[in-house]
Amino acid sequence: MNNFNDLMKRLVKAFDVPNLDIPVSGIRIYKKDETVPEEVKKYQPDGIAITSCHSIRTTMMGDAVYLTEHSIGCIAAAISLGIVDKNKTSPLKGQREYTEIMRKSSGKGDSFIPPSPLEFADGTVYAFQDSKKEDYALFGKKDSGRYISKDVARKALSEMLSLQPPLTQGVFYFSPDFEDVEILPDIVILSLRPVELCRIIQGYQYITGNRVTANVGGLRAGCSDLIVRPYLLKEINFSPYCLGARLIARFEGDRLGMGFPFSFLETIVKGTEESKTGFPFPEYPGACL
């Protein structure tokens, strides 16, 4: 059993609730100067490219996904994760899960031209009404867009952390059960009910005394908020997920995402184990399924 798997089994056991399920995904970011194992490369999707949030959801169900410029289905995530240059003016080639929704909404079929990374980065896509780019709607002609104006979109985007300039070769999403090759994640993402999030924060604070501050936005949760922010700032973050996570990855309405560096996991586990008698989780309303 690998250390990731062992720690997650201990964490679940520390809740003292039979049959409790805590969906988890490990994230390993491979830089361009690293060698990616063949055992990882084989998990690159064929056909339509899929989003980061969809990959998280898939690996929480036990699968594995390796995303590169050729297989990532969300241009925003490709920017956030440092896979593509945010200033690239031409669209990425091939079908992408996110922009295929635009194609369908536009009704233009093969004549639809998807937005470039720059149009995601400068707010055009998110404020397409203000930008006069009706083809970029996701939900038909009445779609309001994600922000009221390009100025507001740029303000929101300025606070979404990203790995730019692009130095990422690929991102691997995997479950604790993955054993094809020995690998540990850079970032761990848990999908939690609020009552479980409460208990994990209690366990973490039992050991450290550190408060946890959430930095939350309505977009890019499955890339910027839950992967890049913990990766760059070496801190815990949690999120109510985002549009893509809810509508594409289909995360349930009672779940929140929590992302943190793998190096935090042992502290979280130890704190949750050692504080069981001070925080009787099974007695929390709704704790037992």
91 neighbors 46 (Cβ within 8 angstroms)? no
**pLDDT of 46 over the 90 cut:** no
- What's the domain count of the chain? 2
Q: Could you give the CA distance from residue 247 to residue 154 in angstroms, rounded to a whole number? A: 23
Tokens encoding 220? 């890019």
Tell me, yes or no, whether 258 lies in a domain.
Answer: yes
Tell me, yes or no, whether 70 lies in a domain.
Answer: yes
* Model confidence, pTM: 0.96
Residue type at 109 in one-letter notation = G
Closest CA to 102 of 90, 93, 118, 114: 114
Tell me the per-residue pLDDT of 55-76, one tens digit each, with 9 for 90 and over. 999 999 999 999 999 999 999 9
Q: Give the model's pLDDT for residue 204.
A: 98
Q: Give the model's pLDDT for residue 289.
A: 75
Average predicted confidence (pLDDT) for the chain? 96
Per the structure, the complete domain to which residue 230 belongs is given by 3-75+165-283
Tell me, yes or no, whether 86 lies in a domain.
Answer: no
Closest CA to 91 of 66, 67, 125: 125
| Cα radius of gyration rounded to whole Å, the chain | 19
Question: In the chain, what is the straight-line distance between the N-terminal and C-terminal CA atoms, in Å?
Answer: 27
**pLDDT of 214 over the 90 cut:** yes
Residue 270 has a CB neighbour count (10 Å cut-off) of 18
Tell me the per-residue pLDDT of 239-286, one tens digit each, with 9 for 90 and over. 999 999 999 999 999 999 999 999 999 999 999 999 999 999 999 999
SS3 (DSSP) at 203: helix
Tell me, yes or no, whether 288 lies in a domain.
Answer: no
Same structural domain, 97 and 53: no
Q: Could you give the CA distance from residue 145 to residue 155 in angstroms, rounded to a whole number? A: 15
Q: Give the model's pLDDT for residue 21.
A: 94
Q: Give 1's pLDDT tier (boundaries 50, 70, 90).
A: low
Tell me the per-residue pLDDT of 178-208, one tens digit each, with 9 for 90 and over. 999 999 999 999 999 999 999 999 999 999 9
